Copies of this chain bind each other. A is one copy, B any other.
Amino acid sequence: MTRLKDIAEVAGVSIRTVGRALKGEGYVEAGVRERVLGAARSLDYRPHRLARSLRTGRSQEVLVLAGGIGGQYDELHIAKIAGMERTLRAAGMSLGLLFGIESEARRAGRDVLDELIARRPAGLALFASATLPATATARRLVQARVPYVFFDTREPDVDTVRHDRSGGVREAVRWLAGRGHRRIAYIGSIEERSRLDGYHEALKALGREPLIVDCEAEYNAARAAAATLMALKPDAVQVYSDILALGLLAGLHELGVRVPQDLAVVGFDDRFAASLSYPPLTTLQQSNEAMGAAAAAILIAKSRDETAPPGGWTRTLPMSLVIRAST
């Protein structure tokens, strides 16, 4: 096998320079890099990355299980993945992406975790999904010594990166109250507790009664629920998600309710669509790239056998309010 020494000899430079030129790290003059790469090609040099992986018995690649995303691909997820990849790359690692393999494996009667463990990735990042229960999955990955991190799960005993949904909603409701709104409602699925908890906390602090409309997490459900909401005579509403908020806007248009004059509307997620609606939506923004970067940092630390910080690996990121024309 060709070694860096052989390339250095052919190119007439130091081994250190060869290393730099091949890795693209540090400064190497353009002409010198050309010579090194030419020598590497002529000697049929096998990339460093593979050799290092074989030496350590562990890949330098983090795998991302994007299976939970389902049919509707999602700009919120790709931003997380981009944040991960940039952080991993800066640490000399890489990112591989797998779509929908849990459901494929399940259909074939195979165990997807066994297969992933056998690939010995440098780490695994998983989106919470129904087919891979987080707590049980985390336990098996720990046993197999595969560094892992979940995105946005609320299951116990799982290392995860997530948003402070309660805190975000609490701040948004306070902000609405500060703008003079008296009757601030909440509409959305009441099964998801974290957002609703934030709403209750804020109203309690304000000494007001909650105004809640339970509504499935679907555009058309929110559209149909607009009349039920307006029967509560709210002057502002925090909505469960942008998708629901956009459905609600459609229902309000149909009822002739003006936004924001008659009702201020706040969404949740800051999807691309939130900036394209009529009116554009004030909404709670997920910091998706930061979330991806935080997940990558956890995997890097775990793969280097660092010990967990005192509070554990889990990170909770703040949300921020993006103010547009719907309030």
Contact = CB atoms under 8 A, between A and B. Distances in A.
A117 to B, nearest CB: 7
Contacts of A82: 66, 69, 73, 99-100
Given A53-B50, A276-B219, A114 B59 contact: no
B273 A272 contact: yes
A232 B24 CA distance: 56
Interface in A267-291: 271-273, 275-279, 288
Contact of A73 (B75, B96, B247, B276): B75
Interface string A177-189: 0000000000000
A216 to B, nearest CB: 15
A46 B54 contact: yes
A253 interface: yes
A167 to B, nearest CB: 24
A47 B73 contact: no
A315 to B, nearest CB: 21
Contact of A85 (B34, B53, B99): B99
Contacts of A54: 46, 50-51, 54
A40 B118 contact: yes
A157 interface: no
A66 B84 CA distance: 13
A34 B140 CA distance: 13
A158 B47 CA distance: 27
B119 A219 contact: no
A52 to B, nearest CB: 10
Contacts of A33: 110-111, 114
* Pairs A-B, 3 closest by C-beta atoms: A273-B273, A246-B276, A24-B115
Nearest to A115: B24
Given A75-B272, A78-B74, A118 B250 contact: no
Interface string A77-110: 1110110011001000011111111000100011
A30 interface: yes
A72 B277 contact: no
A113 to B, nearest CB: 10
Contacts of A53: 50
Nearest to A243: B276
Nearest to A83: B99
Contacts of A115: 24
A57 interface: yes
A76 B271 CA distance: 14
B275 A277 contact: no
Contacts of A117: 37
Interface string A232-258: 000000000011001101100100000
Contact of A57 (B34, B44, B243): B44
Nearest to A90: B104
